[in-house]
Structure 1
Amino acid sequence: MNVYKAHIVHPHTQIPLIAYFNERDGYVTFEKDEAVLNILYELKNDLEQDKYFQVNLEQASNICLTQYPVEDLSEAVLFLTKLGLSADDVEFKQMILH
């Protein structure tokens, strides 16, 4: 199974996400990048209380609930550009799974 991942920042909510592309199943999925979120919380102590940020975080959570069908890796990048990302900002790296 070939799985690729890319670290991105959602262009509308500014929430760090990880985009996964599963080549076998043909889906793009998302999860919040918890490692980056923890760093942001450490750098800005009041971020957890920031209502605007929390609303955006909730909106980003919604995108993580769905699988988005795509044909191949280039279509996965195209899908992300339709969300508002620049293709230059999307770098999928193949994951090694055992």
Structure 2
Amino acid sequence: MDLYKAHFIHPHTHVPLIVYYNKSDGYVTFEKDNEVLALLLKLDGELAEDERFLKNVSQVSNMCSTQYPVNTFSDVYDFLEQLGISKEELTFKQLFLH
């Protein structure tokens, strides 16, 4: 499996997310970035009391159940641009699975 991931902040909800790109199977999917979220809430006390932000966080499931078909990294970037995430905001790192 040829798997890549990148971290980003959703441009509309401001919830930290991880995007996974499975190059072998040709899809992307998303996951709530709970590690970054925990750090943000610890470092920014006001954010921890922001009802709108907390509502957005609660509405995001831990793992997205939808896989979106893409064939290449170019397709991944095009798809994410449609969501408002620019290529410059992303740094994909390859995951090595055993």
Q: Give 1 or 2: higher helix fraction.
A: 1
Q: Which moved more, 1:26-35 or 1:43-52?
A: 43-52
Deviation at 1:55, TM superposition (A): 2.0
Q: Gapped runs of 5+ residues in structure 2?
A: none
> What's the C-alpha RMSD, in Å, of the aligned pairs?
1.9
Deviation at 1:69, TM superposition (A): 1.1
- Maintained 8 Å contact 1:27/1:67: yes
Deviation at 1:46, TM superposition (A): 4.9
Q: Which amino acid aligns with 1:88?
A: E
Number of equivalences: 98
Deviation at 1:64, TM superposition (A): 2.0
Q: Which residues in structure 2 correspond to 1:77-96 (within 5 Å)? A: 77-96=77-96
**Match of 2:25, SS?**
coil
| TM-score normalised to structure 2 length | 0.87
Q: Gapped runs of 5+ residues in structure 1?
A: none
Q: Which residues in structure 2 correspond to 1:36-47 (within 5 Å)? A: 36-47=36-47
| TM-score normalised to structure 1 length | 0.87
